[in-house]
Amino acid sequence: MKKITMLFVLALIAGTAFSQELRLNTYAGYVFDDKVDSYYSSSSYYEGKIKGGLRWGAGLEYLLPGTTKAFELQYLRQDTNAPVTYVDSGILGGNLQSTDFDLSSNWIMLNGTNYFPVSEVAEPFFGFGIGMAIFDTFNPDNGNSNGATKFAWALRGGSNFWFSEKVGLRVQASLMSAVQGAGGGLYFGTGGAGAGVSTYSTMYQFGFDGGIVFRFPQ
């Protein structure tokens, strides 16, 4: 968390020094449940659900001079649960297990956004982002924990509604995905999380966000 905070502070200093317009976007919203599974063999697999819930965060956005395009460095976090049924032949000899894991997700994204201003108040947008998702998983059955970092991408669309020159409301819908293949899946088992299942599995989270946006024209 300290590294993420420092990254945002440095980005804010750099953006303030060189940009013609810098924005601070805040986010809070709801993401829906998503099914996840990964199969290595009939005696080594998991399937379950990442529960929906609150996701919050912020982003620093730089508007390219003379255009309607912008780049944003964004951080989002969600704390939730993942009820999972799994078989781990290496540890339990193939016995079927069920655990409700504690799961925290940290998303660090670089988003590109194109705005379509229709008035001084309404500013619709559409964007795409890439980055990474950092997962931390805790197994309450035995106290074990672990983590994984995965490539992530996102699509989003919505609009800003400006109350004044510097303050507005941001609403959007988004689809975010963490690709769990290519080097090992996010593995739920007796050890918590790891890279024990190497088959392809991807999570998709659809959500709605809203927040206050602050504009700092130079």
pLDDT of res. 40: 62
Domain at 68, CATH number: 2.40.160.20
Helix (H, G, I), strand (E, B) or coil at 12: helix
Q: What is the pLDDT of residues 158-180, one digit of tens each?
A: 999 999 999 999 999 999 998 76
pLDDT of res. 194: 46
pLDDT of res. 67: 92
pLDDT of res. 129: 97
pLDDT surpassing 50 at residue 185:
no
pLDDT surpassing 80 at residue 151:
yes
CA 40 → CA 34, 45, 93, 150, distances in Å?
20, 6, 15, 19
Helix (H, G, I), strand (E, B) or coil at 141: coil
Instruction: Look at the chain and report how many structural domains it folds into.
Output: 1
Which positions ≥6 away from 98 have C-beta within 8 Å? Answer: 83, 84, 85, 86
Question: Contact 76/32 with Cβ under 8 angstroms?
Answer: no
Give me the mean pLDDT over the 181-209 stretch. 59
- Domain of residue 86 covers 2-217
Q: What is the pLDDT of residues 102-120, one digit of tens each?
A: 999 999 999 999 999 999 9
pLDDT of res. 132: 93
